[in-house]
Amino acid sequence: MGRLWMPQPVTTTSSVLLWITLLCLAPTIRSNGTSRAIVTLEPPWFNVLQDDNVTLTCGGFQTPGQEFIEWLHNGSALPNYQNSYFIPRVSIENSGEYQCRTQHTALSSPVKLQVSSDWLLLQAERLEFMEGDTMILRCHSWRSKPLNKVTYYHNDKALNFDHQTFNYIVSPVNPTHSGSYYCQGKIGNVSYVSTTMVITVQGGKLSTGKVLIITFFLVVVIAVLVAVALYY
């Protein structure tokens, strides 16, 4: 009597293990592709006042000073080929989106710079935060003139702050910190109020590490179920 053919568990298991390995390595394989350059601001505020000094830095996988760097402002090339782009005494014309790229990186995501003409400005690093982030607000005067009696407001409610510093720090933030913010302060004997900005705090999400762990265990469970089904 001929021998009944049955699926070979060793071969099936090996195939499943290979599949799991490829899935686990997929994020690494993708990350080995061309990476994006990163533009950072110094000081870190996306909104500044006229006559402030701003430095943009192009970061990526390159050796500083050893390769060509391209800068773009609102899509147009800038006559600067260094890692840093220094803008002394910014003007309204300097507002817009900045990007950079190097020989070994793709074009960066745009970084927005907003230049205003006013006596007082509430500054922030960005307008959107994730739950758990640290939010720093700064009440800034034109040409950094001395400020006194500074008060921060959230949804028109006055907030407490440290009189020794003009920064208002919230860490960690949560969705209740969403809303409108502005600051008030005196330059000399004259009181000024900044324009209002709206900040959004989004609910927390799983970290990349946790997502990978959960994905790995799900793949393992599915692989085991497939192997058992094929074996029997």
Q: Where are the domains of the chain?
A: 35-117, 118-232
**Can you name the residues that pair with 151 across neighbouring β-strands?**
184
Give the pLDDT of residue 230.
73
Q: Do 35-117 and 118-232 share a fold?
A: yes
122: nearest Cα among 86, 159, 89, 97: 159
Give the pLDDT of residue 52.
98
220: nearest Cα among 20, 13, 25, 28: 20
pLDDT tens for each residue of 12-29:
444 444 444 444 444 433
134: nearest Cα among 184, 190, 199, 183: 199
Q: Looking at the predicted structure, is the pLDDT value of residue 134 above 70?
A: yes
Mean pLDDT of 155-175: 86
Q: What is the pTM of this model?
A: 0.71
Give the pLDDT of residue 104.
85
DSSP 205: -
Amino acid in the structure at residue 157: K
pLDDT tens for each residue of 25-62:
444 333 446 799 999 999 999 999 999 999 999 987 65
**Architecture of the domain delimited by 118-232:** Sandwich (2.60)
Whether domain 35-117 has CATH 3.40.50.970 = no
Mean pLDDT of 180-207: 90
